Structure 1
Amino acid sequence: MRKNIIIFLMIILVFTGGFLLGIFFQNNNDKQTNTPKLVTKAPGSKKKPTEKEIPQYSKEKEKVLIGYVQDFRDPSTIDYTNLTHVIFSFAHPAKDGSVLMNGEQAKINLKTMVKKAREHNTKVLLAVGGWYHIQGGESYEYFKAAISSTTSRSKLVNELISITKTENLDGIDIDFEHPRSNEDAKNLNIFIKMLDEKLSKLDKELTIAVYSKIHSVTGTEIQSVVFKPEMFKHVDFVNIMAYDGQWDGEYNAANLSPYRFAEDIVEYWSNLFNKHHLPKEKLVLGVPFYAQPEDVSINQMSYGAIVNENPENAKRDTVKLHGTTYHYNGVETMKKKTNLALENGFGGMMIWELGHDAKGNYSLTSTILNELTKEDEQPSIFAKD
């Protein structure tokens, strides 16, 4: 009997202990459930946490190196390796808006150039205009007439588009030397806009060669050449002919293209583009690859010919040969001019004319390219490990 009572009391104790233990765990669990949770945004906030963007490692836009080549030159002699663009010079506008080429050989040379340039991924453009016209005299009167009427202007645009398609060109370069009135500037602006609209649909480029607009002696603006700034919205590049200053005032070969002349030109065009909110990356500084003789009755001489006389001439800007002093731009001046363009945010450099360059170590084209690409050789602070 006593044994049964003990067993019964033990059962009651176990049951009561289990019941009390269950209550304890339940209360403890309720306390944990009621503990406030850490939140990442305030209740009712409409703002969402923003994630940091992944840094973009984009390479600076490539600087252009544009070289003109005259139509009589053998395209096989040109080194396309260093060039982004090569411009075949020239096609000639007739007064009725038709386009003339300098004979069959010029047409053959253009086709050859396109083929050669394609092997090096170099773009080929056709330059229209220039100083002299195939039918005689200056190109000015012909070009002026061609863009002065709606009929001839439309014909010129359509013929250039047709040539672009037929010859598989990458674009057109306009070299109207030079608009001399507000009427000329207005007509050129209309023409450029029309041409750009059609070339853009073909994904082709449009460039324009322009007079420097600066007097090489006084450094002041020359008012006799007129451009409408809004025209530059419709072109990809503006090739500034920063040379031929020898004709400003009395003939002086030393004013061909000295560094101080380039400084004045760069300042003028930089200010013009800034004033009209145009991108300075469109500006391309032109440099001469020829030498100007102090005796105006003597022909110009190529830089290549001067270096062939003596390689040391590459380090100079003047040299006396065959009784005449020649003025030109040597290697050091080309370096300075290229860096002048880069420091002022220009899009690159332009060469007149590629056939005048020296070969090998004294090539001005290679000199310019080395300066244009020097920044690319420097390690970037954003470079990945």
Structure 2
Amino acid sequence: DEIRKSGFAILTEGYADVLTLHQAGYQNAIASSGTSLTREQLNSLFRYCKTIYLVFDADEAGIKATERGLELALEQGFNVLIVELPSGEDPDSIIRNLGGKNFQVYIDQAVNFLDYLIKKYSNKDLLKNPTEKAKSMRYFLELICKIPDRLQHDEYIKNMAQMMNLTSRQIEQVYKEKAILEKNKTNLTNQSKPTSGNSGLINKETIRTIAENKESKEGKLISDAEIKRDINEIKFYDKLLPEEVLLLQLLLLEKDSRTIITNVYNLTEEKFHSDLGKSILKNLLRMLKESSDIAKSYFDDELLTQREKQEITNLIFTEVKFSEKWKEFSNRNTEVDMERMVKDTIIRLELLNIENRLAELQGKLLENKQKCEELAKNQKDEVSDAEELLEKLKQEQHELLKEQMEISSKRKKLNQLFIR
């Protein structure tokens, strides 16, 4: 009841802290059962409040527990505030030594997760080295993307840009990687959903699975860890996207889908995103006008680079694995569902194009906002300097007038003496 009334909970590491806090009047203090916080616990807590104060010990273990806790809490949708305690202290020791009222000071000074992390990373000199700074930025961005309310993302990215002194190019790259993170997060969510009714049909989830299988050298699904690694190392325009892989493979190997791709949807290289994919598609479409068997003739084509030939070889020899039920169904209704598969894949490419364009615009908007704020600050400083200079000139003018009057008075006296 106290948590519901106050609208927030104070989460601590141990029961000793909770008991001491309750005795001091903090009835909304709680602790996780066991050594670590779980999604189930946070899911239950979310029914009673939407804000959570993390008050963990100020040692290394406490800092790690804080990071683990805030990741789960952000994902759940909590407004997460971090209570920073002096080194070596915990809620129990502070209340016993300073009293319950003084503990409230630490609660009042709680900071959001981003301010807390940037301060911690800065104190460890992890933001000075370019490599470590980039790694930290990606970690912060991953946390921001965990927040369900996407309206908060821009505010946190703006704060991160200001606190870490990011350039406009870095901000633009942040938004590009944000779009990729969100895209991969959506794909992973879709993969985890069970397929409905006609499991033999190729749906959006199956398309993603097939396409991602082409990305893996061993033909296995890409794991979460591998996806995170790829995001950190990705060179967006040098790598074929999964959707591009699938469309190119269908163009090379499936004559029925080739007709759908070229005649029904009139696919051109403008729909692709990677430079590599655009070039391969453009050349394949050119070759189709000369020969229908491009899977055999591509290797002798003089306009294809070695890199492009190698990619085409990989596409040809990486098998598209359809389920047995799909094969049975496709014998009866190949064209209809092949068309749907091609259409869905092209739509996803168009959506990604929109996301990238939005990312670029958001980066430019943030850059323009920062320039405006800097210009306003400079103008304010210039006005202040001008006012100070004007006041100084007025004072000098006053002194000069005073001196002029004194000189005139002396001159008058001297004239009078001269006349006498």
**TM beyond 0.5:** no
The TM tier, using the shorter chain, reads under 0.3
> Normalising by the residue count of structure 1, what TM-score does the alignment of the two structures yield?
0.23
> Normalising by the residue count of structure 2, what TM-score does the alignment of the two structures yield?
0.21
Return the index of the structure with the highest Cα Rg.
1
Structure with the higher strand share, 1 or 2: 1
Structure with the higher helix share, 1 or 2: 2
Which is bigger in relative contact order (C-alpha 8 A, separation at least 6)?
1
